[in-house]
Structure 1
Amino acid sequence: MSNFARTDRVAQQIQRELAELVRLEINDPRVRLVTITGVEVANDYSHAKVFFTRLDGKHEEAQQGLERAGGFLRSQLARSLKLRIMPQLHFVYDASVERGSHLSQLIDQAVASDKQHSDES
């Protein structure tokens, strides 16, 4: 059980460090509007899935930019985190923010339609 707690703590630390690195160190315009939404680290620390979203929806080019900067990001993480094994970073687009926004729009439309129908009666 404590092993899972440690991987969770490592994942949270990687997320914080990556968010700072992306914001301050990466000059690639494809990565400019990227937000790191989560990190999952394998139990053996060999791999980490880095979930991201981009505000303008251009996630394919953001993923290309992140993958291009992956080696740099991993080396910077190795400097700041004291881990015996630094995980390979795998960038995955997180569509949950986009789905949440879409659901919110649908709810707003339903409420407006319901209000319009109640005003008509």
Structure 2
Amino acid sequence: MEKLFSRSSRIAPELQKNIAIIIHSYLKDPRIKTIITVSEVRVSKDLSYAQVFISFLEKDDSLNVKKILFLLNKASGYIRKLLCKKMKLRIIPNISFCYDNSFFYGKKISSLLNQIRK
């Protein structure tokens, strides 16, 4: 009989919570001036890779997004090292950061629907 939840689906929310804490508390880069939200974490079946989806609470500026993604991907080794101390896992996944624009996309669709309604 198969388990209802795989191990990767149980570890993903814990990674999401811990990565958000690390970014807000321990990552002190003066070039990152915006609030970063970790919206989702997808972990591979063998727990060796994790895709971290982030979003920002300000306007969508593609140059700023690329810069912040570059800085976070450069700091992924440091974030992984801090995760080793916080989580008791045999394998800490390699982290790659991706931009999640679903909030702005949903906001745009909502405003279009409101215009149609009027």
SS in 2 for 1:63: helix
User: Which AA in structure 2 matches 1:66?
Assistant: L
Which residue number corresponds to residue 24 of structure 1? 25
Deviation at 1:31, TM superposition (A): 6.1
Give 3-state SS (helix, strand or coil) of 1:82's partner: coil
Q: Which runs of 5+ in 2 are unaligned?
A: none
Q: Which amino acid aligns with 1:49?
A: Q
What number of residue pairs does the alignment pair up? 112
The answer to whether 1:71 aligns with 2:52 is no
For 1:118, the equivalent position in structure 2 comes to: none
- Contact 2:34-2:57 within 8 A present in 1 as well: no
- Higher fraction of helix: 1
- CA shift for structure 1 position 2: 3.1
Query: Partner letter of residue 7 of structure 2?
Result: R
**5+ long unaligned stretches in structure 1:** 115-121
| TM-score (normalizing by structure 1) | 0.83
Alpha carbons 2:37, 2:54 under 8 Å: kept: yes
**1:108 corresponds to:** 114
Query: What CA distance in whole angstroms lies between the structure 2 residues aligned with 1:48 and 1:31?
Result: 24
Deviations 1:15-72 (A, max 9, x none): 0001111111112232632110000110101100001111222321220121121111
Q: Which amino acid aligns with 2:95?
A: L
Q: Trace 1:43-58 onto structure 2 (pairs within 5 A).
A: 43-56=45-58, 57=60, 58=64
Q: Matches of 1:4 and 1:63 in 2, distance apart? A: 30
**Deviations, residues 78-97 of structure 1 (Å, cap 9, x unaligned):** 11111111100011111211
Contact 1:8 1:41 in 2 (8 A): yes
Larger radius of gyration: 1
TM-score (norm 2): 0.85
Q: CA RMSD in A?
A: 1.7
